[in-house]
Structure 1
């Protein structure tokens, strides 16, 4: 499962911060699009937390990024779910 982030124009990005209600699971970010979500290099990866920071080794100039969720967090009632409240890009 994934989310495509589309900027108005190509811009250098060095980190993406996710505000979620979940912990656990696994997310990756790539400079690609929804049609090819697993193409390209993994720029950063992490487990979900209240504030998940995906920091790149070096800034990447792109118009589109994909958050590719390889494992959903498990909720207290045993369901697999992720809630993204906010995505910050810098």
Structure 2
């Protein structure tokens, strides 16, 4: 199990990015959260199987059809098992 902190930049707010990320994560048994940041980015903190995390990161580069992703920043560490599910959090 690993943990990934992901920042997604581009036109990623107001396009269903959080809802689609949550749907993808729940379908692939990933735990954590996604939220919008006030600067227009999306932040994701996720734990799970390394292969599934890598697939989520690949998906993050595309996002939903109306998104335009310009950059994805990823920091991976060991999972600490703090999440029971995956949720959409309020904007920070």
Q: TM-score under structure 1 normalisation?
A: 0.46
- Identify the structure with the greater strand proportion: 1
Q: TM-score under structure 2 normalisation?
A: 0.45
Q: Highest Rg: 1 or 2?
A: 1
- Identify the structure with the greater helix proportion: 2
